[in-house]
Structure 1
Amino acid sequence: MSEQPIGPILDGLGTTIFLDEGDLVASALVITKVIEPDGDVSLAIASSEGLSWIEQNGLLASAQQIVSQASIGRKGEDD
């Protein structure tokens, strides 16, 4: 196992984000499904430098609410 930059991997998956001009991404928490060579599936989590576990937990809880509640609008989605 080796540490790898996540940017090229996300680019290869076609991952994008909707941002308005002037928006600044301050931190990131990336959750990935990993399929190992033997077919086993695991979960990997990566975060931007300096992101504490408390902030990770807050981002994760907020993201879960957005995904779970259709009534919460997501940036970039048509209403």
Structure 2
Amino acid sequence: CQWGTCAETFNSPNDLYNHICEAHIGRKVTRNLCLQCSWQGCRYTGAKRDQITPHVRVHTKRATYTCAKCSHTTMRLSDFKKHAR
């Protein structure tokens, strides 16, 4: 994990993504919500949690959208839609 000073390691991009979402981004109901990306060299800020969690996929290399025709994978829905067209 390259979030701030965190140095934890993970075996998969999925585990890293889940760690960031729970330990660093948090949730509004638990009063620990952080909407600014603190990945090394990044200062993205989202207006709500639904904006920053997809952004984090870029850093974790977690591909979430897979084309059924050619197996191409993307991390963002907008990129996947462009590929599908």
Do these two structures clear the TM 0.5 threshold for a shared fold by scoring above it? Answer: no
Structure 2 length-normalised TM: 0.24
Bigger share in helix: 2
Of the two, which has the highest radius of gyration? 1
Bigger share in strand: 1
